[in-house]
Amino acid sequence: MNKLCEFEKKYEHIVKNIEEWNFIRNKIREVFIDNSLNDNGKKIKRNIKKILRVLRNVFFGFFNWFGKYDYLFFSYSSERKIINNEYVDKLSDPIVELVGKSLVIELPNPIHFNNNKSKYIVSESLIYFISAIIKLFIFVKSTDDLYRLEAVLKKENIIFSTRNLIKRFKSLYIVYYILLKIYKPKAVFVVCYYCRQPLIKAAKDLNIKVIELQHGIIGKSHCAYNSLIELNDKYIPDYLFSYGKTETTIPTFLIKNVVPIGSFYLEYVKTSFKEDRELKNIISNYDTIVGVTLQDVKWIKKRLLNFLSKVSLWEKNILYILIPRYEDVKINFEKNVIVWKKTDCYNTIMHCDIHMTVYSTCALEVPTLGIPNILLNINDFSSSISKMLNNYHTKIISEDISKNDFLATIRNLKRLSNEIIIEKNSNIFVPNYHKNLIKALKVVNILS
């Protein structure tokens, strides 16, 4: 059971009376994952960065707002991958091609791209900009339950402004409600529902169907999708188009209608892989190649890098390829540790014998490509994802693993059959994406 589920079960008598609890619990979830997100001296600096990002992107695709659309898609620029010289949203674009004229409302993460496959695309930054103005005029009424919640958060050393969060919710809700009232879409598709709960609440209040497109790790340990108390379903999507069947078997799963469709992009990577000549020349000098995906949380990333600094000295014929997420990584390691950003993450991993991470989503995905995993279990973060994976292709290790045990793990994983790895991961990523997608759209009455 995770910390958030324990927290809300313990204080159920308080949180059940807070209208916006579903929205507030996501902030608490973030704090439990990374305590630096508690309000502190860095708050002003963080807010300035957010404001500048919103202002920089607010007019992206502006004239596309003025049109009639059957469906609205809410996604992130980070979901875009280059395919045939276009930036393709790997979650939204395959569906847009099937369902008719649609508007993709995209949040820059960190930037928008030009030359997108999506014909009609705008920046969600405009919505955040307008809501920030509206927020200035919103007043949150004090209640006994709100006072009790604030006292509990202070007692548990969870420090942020609950009232400010509620004002943010209400201002975003107003903008989304007006937007949906104007467009009258047949359905709304969202990526990462728990980051867009004001949108979902507005859609539900207008009787508009909401479908989430799975974008990352989901399991019993992901508290945005699990709870031990009853939550308001006005904040939760009607359907989830999932990668696999795993989500249909979790007892505390919040989304009742789960339709497995698989992964468009993984099937594309597997069928269209081409070796990168420059990277191929580098790896030809080594016996074993380990691709290492990093995490956003700085202290976890630091400990993973410290671990690599140690193990890279044990065997010089093993090349470690660091694959950053968004920011650049500067290292001063042995020459058998390199940083590689010149190809897509998955394309890079396809050049490798083994994938290593702490808890990146890639650990769920790469066995579908025939690549085994090593999970470095820092502060038990890897254990939740390891429970979802087959121990045939995924091994969990500790930071204090011995040299002999580590090198033995490398050797044993390298010997595994790629075909068996793929077969044993089919429950997490079902095959035949396009066939499954058409079936799913019929299930939700979008295609006949």
Which amino acid, one-letter code, is at 32? F
E strands, 305-412, where?
Answer: 318-323, 337-339, 354-357, 373-376, 394-397
In angstroms, the CA 356 to CA 240 distance is: 28
In angstroms, the CA 215 to CA 68 distance is: 27
**Predicted local distance difference test score (pLDDT) of residue 388:** 83
Asked whether the beta carbons of 111 and 129 are under 8 A apart, the reply is no
CATH number at residue 394: 3.40.50.2000
Is the domain of 231 the same as that of 279? no
pTM of the model: 0.83
- Among 74, 13, 31, 15, smallest CA distance to 232 is for 15
Which amino acid, one-letter code, is at 140? V
Is the domain of 20 the same as that of 117? yes
Domain assignment of residue 447, yes or no: no
Is the domain of 123 the same as that of 252? yes
Is the domain of 324 the same as that of 246? no
The pair of three-digit structure tokens given for residue 350, joined into one six-digit string: 């396809």
**Predicted local distance difference test score (pLDDT) of residue 45:** 53
Instruction: State the average pLDDT for the chain.
Output: 91
Cα separations in angstroms, 218 against 158, 226, 293: 24, 9, 18
Low-confidence ranges of the chain (pLDDT < 50): 40-42, 44
**Predicted local distance difference test score (pLDDT) of residue 325:** 73
Domain assignment of residue 437, yes or no: no
Is the domain of 199 the same as that of 327? no
Cβ within 8 Å of residue 242, ≥6 positions away: 214, 218, 248, 258, 259, 260, 261
Asked whether the beta carbons of 102 and 69 are under 8 A apart, the reply is yes
pLDDT tens per residue, range 34-90 = 765 565 444 545 566 667 767 788 999 999 999 999 999 999 999 999 898 999 999
Is the domain of 349 the same as that of 396? yes
**Predicted local distance difference test score (pLDDT) of residue 40:** 47
In angstroms, the CA 373 to CA 357 distance is: 8
**Predicted local distance difference test score (pLDDT) of residue 41:** 42
**Predicted local distance difference test score (pLDDT) of residue 146:** 93
pLDDT tens per residue, range 209-231 = 999 999 987 877 788 899 999 99
**Predicted local distance difference test score (pLDDT) of residue 399:** 95
Is the domain of 257 the same as that of 387? no
Q: What is the residue range of 94's domain?
A: 3-262
